[in-house]
Structure 1
Amino acid sequence: MKYGIALFPSKKIQDLVNSYRKRYDPNYALVPPHLTLKSAFEVTDEDVPRITEELRSIAEITPPMKLAIRKVSSFSPVNNVIYLKVEPTEQLLQLHDRLHNGSLNSAPEYSFVPHITIGQKLSDDEHSDVYESLKMLDVKHEETIDRFHLLYQLENGSWTVHETFLLGKDCK
């Protein structure tokens, strides 16, 4: 089964992102706005308990962290993806690294650029038009994130939370 690890921003940011995702992201109905910490990976049912235990350990040593969003950006010309850029804090980078080591060891497909997708799979012209419009948004948002989530993919392609992991040793 496919699993992934993500964190979800506040409802305020999810509402903002979804107001655009409805039109510009074909995955809108499959997963809420999120920041991917570990892309989809295959896990057998027998391995899930071991992985969840490792994720609990990672969460325990990771303090709650600040999530800061300052602007709209794009991965163009590599991909026609428009996103909210999340500041790559040391804590966020460490968490990402921890989720790619140990029994979760894998090389990420792309360099880690913390972001929350607004639109993807756009034509070149649509990407250019939408990006030019959205990059003028004055996005200045900060919040504290105190959890991440192990998600799994259902047969219809949608993602749902398998387990939530609270950050910090006082969050057991």
Structure 2
Amino acid sequence: MLSAIHIFPAFRNHRSVDLLRAKYDPLFSLIPPHITLVFPFESTMTLDDLTEHIRTCIVGMKPFRIAMTGITGADGAYLFLNVKVGNDPMIELHDRLYTGILRKYLNRSFTYSPHLTVGHIHDKQLYESALLETAQFNEAFETVVHEIALERIDETGRSTVERKIPLLPRNPIG
């Protein structure tokens, strides 16, 4: 079984993102719109071990605002909804989470850039067409991130949120 750590943003106008994903993203029916903090990895770690790691890593991280707008292409196959506000705290979360027990899963061959995938198109011609179709998509999406989620991904690719861990401004014990 695979695990991953995400932000599941609660946009009030999420239907627009859903319409794009339904058209362009083959994962639409398997996982809600998300921003990946830790990419899927296979391990034998327990949910409690992963949860404890996450809690330790996010001590002092308080809720933060994100704003997203504009669709751009990536790697000749992906359509990304771009982060305009909130990049820094997401990068900080990503960097903190890829320490300790998750350090070995960090892929150093690419630079982490927070985004929300709205499409994955393998056919080059369809991809170019989708880029043109989404070029004028300028709807803004805003929310406050209050928690991150630990998910498990089954053999069919379906995502199940196993734990939601709140962002707290200080250690809840002290």
TM-score normalised by structure 1 residue count: 0.88
**Partner in structure 1 of residue 150 of structure 2:** 150
Residue 141 of structure 2 aligns to which amino acid in structure 1? Answer: H
Deviations 1:44-98 (A, max 9, x none): 15x43222111112233211112121311110xx231111011363211111101
- Work out the CA distance in 2 between the residues paired with 1:98 and 1:26: 30
Deviations 1:99-123 (A, max 9, x none): 1111111323532111111110341
- 1:13 Cα deviation from its structure 2 partner: 4.8
- Work out the CA distance in 1 between the residues paired with 2:160 and 2:102: 20
Contact 1:4 1:38 in 2 (8 A): yes
1:128-147 aligned within 5 A: 128-147=128-147
Contact 2:76 2:127 in 1 (8 A): no
**Partner in structure 1 of residue 83 of structure 2:** 86
- 1:133 Cα deviation from its structure 2 partner: 1.6
- Work out the CA distance in 2 between the residues paired with 1:34 and 1:137: 19
Q: SS where residue 9 of structure 1 aligns? A: coil
1:23-172 aligned within 5 A: 23-45=23-45, 47-75=46-74, 78-87=75-84, 89-105=87-103, 106-108=105-107, 110-169=110-169
Unaligned segments of structure 1, at least 5 residues: none
Residue 3 of structure 2 aligns to which amino acid in structure 1? Answer: Y
Deviations 1:113-159 (A, max 9, x none): 11111110341111111111212112223321111100001232201
Q: Residues 171 and 129 of structure 1: is their aligned pair in 2 closer, same or farther, counting only changes over 3 Å?
A: farther
**Deviates further, 32-41 or 9-18:** 9-18
Residue 65 of structure 1 aligns to which amino acid in structure 2? Answer: F
**Partner in structure 2 of residue 5 of structure 1:** 5
- Work out the CA distance in 2 between the residues paired with 1:26 and 1:136: 22
State the number of aligned residues: 169
- 1:11 Cα deviation from its structure 2 partner: 4.2
Contact 1:17 1:118 in 2 (8 A): yes
Residue 124 of structure 1 aligns to which amino acid in structure 2? Answer: K
TM-score normalised by structure 2 residue count: 0.87
Residue 89 of structure 2 aligns to which amino acid in structure 1? Answer: Q
Q: Residues 70 and 11 of structure 1: is their aligned pair in 2 closer, same or farther, counting only changes over 3 Å?
A: closer
